[in-house]
Amino acid sequence: MHSKTSPSVAEALDGVEDGATVLVGGFGLAGQPIALIDGLRERGTKDLTIVANNAGNGDTGLAALLKAGQVRKVICSFPRQVDSWVFDELYRAGKIELEVVPQGNLAERIRAGGAGIGGFFTPTGVGTLLAEGKETRVIDGREYVLESPIKGDVALIGAYQGDQLGNLVYRKTSRNFNPVMATAATITIAQVDEIVEVGSLDPESIVTPAIYVDRVVEVGVREWLR
Amino acid sequence: MAPLTRDELAARIARDIPYGAYVNLGIGAPTLVADHLEPERDVVLHTENGLLGMGRAAVGEEVDPDLINAGKIPVIAEPGHAFFHHADSFAMMRGGHLDVCVLGAFQVSVTGDLANWHTGEPDAIPAVGGAMDLAIGAKQVWVMTDLLTKTGSSKLVAACSYPLTGKGCVSRVYTDRAVIEVGPGGARVLDLFGTTMDELRELTGLELTQ
């Protein structure tokens, strides 16, 4: 059996280069692959473009990576939150680029990236600032705007359990962007609370099939679930 | 009769939601509607981060950081709930599968244009979240808001001056002073709360009819 397990976060992140586009799962802290993000920060990998729903919460995880000055650009739907002070300060100081994308368009652009779709027409954003300069088309009497796929060099995934082959399951609303992002990167790296034996995950319940996953690293039960 | 309080307005909206509807309640005031939904109406709440069958806010031992709503508040899940990923969650919106969505607003135009995501101020950090997807996706998009801003300007306007969230997407506006139907045919007042039609015309500066 070809095992995709990595013995450590540092080894799981091997080969992630400066300037990479990194898809980062999670919605707020739920499903955010914090151990992998911390690993990226410790490696000092820089000049990154981060694709995520948010631009960091509090001072940990994604916020800490931003604070370390390793991120050049964020593509996200909702940067401004009550606890997004790290991003807010960098943005106001002109030290970080921002592309705001409606949340459903963000998910669908990543889905398209992973599914080999060259672009799609969506009604979301028509007639707004976020559709300016984009091609539009009327289909069956309704106006749509053309959106392009997003692909990553790397996807960092926060899952609940994985097996050695890379099959993944998630826990509750920590699923969010993770299964979509897992499909859309050259290298998909998943952190899981627990690695389980091949054959022990219910095949009917596997959310991310192993074909999408390149590396799995066990990080232990997250503090907040204890 | 006086204008409605926030809670009274939330209760009114809850009464207007059809039996068995699939509903998304936006962040902020619209979440109050959930407190007034009678269980026997079998309304199913959707949250954009991947849950159908969302329940009330979690308390004490119920709090699970992996089970949150769109506002990132821990919630509980009702029997029969289902989890799904973000692309599916927004397909439910965009695909017209939600019956009703209730959103807050900075401004709504008489033709149903909605502005609720960005003030357009030069120092504002734009953040759209799921607002644009919700605005164009649900079968009916209702707005819940005070009629007037804190400085006394009408939020119901002839044309929005703030950046738009969606064009012609709102069908009904629930305010503390009136319920107003909006759309291609213009605005029509459906109900008044402690306010006469003349007062409503004066407050909004609009030629409103019943």
A121-135 confidence digits (pLDDT tens): 999 999 999 999 999
Q: Which residue reads 């902020």 in tokens?
A: B28
In this structure, what DSSP letter does residue A11 have?
A: H
Domain range for A187: 18-100+151-219
Rounded CA separation B210/B203 (Å): 16
Q: What is the ipTM of this complex?
A: 0.95
* Among candidates A104, A105, A172 on the partner chain, residue whose Cβ is nearest the Cβ of B64: A172
pLDDT at B1: 80
The domain total for chain A is: 1
B30-86 confidence digits (pLDDT tens): 999 999 999 999 999 999 999 999 999 999 999 999 999 999 999 999 999 999 999
Catalytic one of B48, B78, B202, B207: B48
* Residue B20 vs residues B42, B75, B98: alpha-carbon distances, Å: 5, 21, 11
Report residue A107's pLDDT band, with 50, 70 and 90 as the boundaries: very high
Q: Residue B87: its chain A contacts at CB < 8 A?
A: 107-108, 110-111, 180
Domain harbouring A189, CATH code: 3.40.1080.10
**Residues of chain B that touch chain A, judged by Cβ-Cβ distance less than 8 Å:** 47-51, 64-68, 72, 77, 83-87, 89-91, 93-94, 118, 123, 125-133, 136-137, 163-167
pLDDT at A225: 66
Q: Residue B167: its chain A contacts at CB < 8 A?
A: 126-128
Question: Any CB–CB contact under 8 A between A78 and chain B?
Answer: yes
A62-88 mean pLDDT: 95
B77-136 confidence digits (pLDDT tens): 999 999 999 999 999 999 999 999 999 999 999 999 999 999 888 888 889 999 999 999
In this structure, what DSSP letter does residue B58 have?
A: P
* Among candidates A81, A107, A124 on the partner chain, residue whose Cβ is nearest the Cβ of B87: A107
Residue A116 burial (CB count, 10 A): 8
Q: For the structural domain made of B6-204, what CATH number should be given?
A: 3.40.1080.10
Q: Do A173 and B131 touch (CB under 8 A)?
A: no
pLDDT at B169: 97
Q: pLDDT averaged over chain A?
A: 96
Q: Do B126 and A225 touch (CB under 8 A)?
A: no
Question: Any CB–CB contact under 8 A between A29 and chain B?
Answer: yes
Whether residue A81 is predicted with pLDDT greater than 90 in this model: the reply is: no
Q: Do B90 and A180 touch (CB under 8 A)?
A: no
Rounded CA separation A215/B190 (Å): 59
Whether residue B12 is predicted with pLDDT greater than 80 in this model: the reply is: yes
Whether residue A224 is predicted with pLDDT greater than 80 in this model: the reply is: no
pLDDT at B119: 86
Whether residue A226 is predicted with pLDDT greater than 80 in this model: the reply is: no
Q: Do A80 and B127 touch (CB under 8 A)?
A: yes
Domain ranges of chain B: 6-204
Q: What is the pTM of this model?
A: 0.96
Q: Residue A96: its chain B contacts at CB < 8 A?
A: none
A114 found inside a domain: no
Q: Do B136 and A176 touch (CB under 8 A)?
A: no
Task: Determine whether B38 is an active site residue.
Answer: no
Q: Do A107 and B90 touch (CB under 8 A)?
A: yes
Instruction: DSSP for B144-196, please give it.
Output: E--SB-TTS-BSEESS--SPPSBSS---EEE-SSEEEE-STT--EEEEESS--
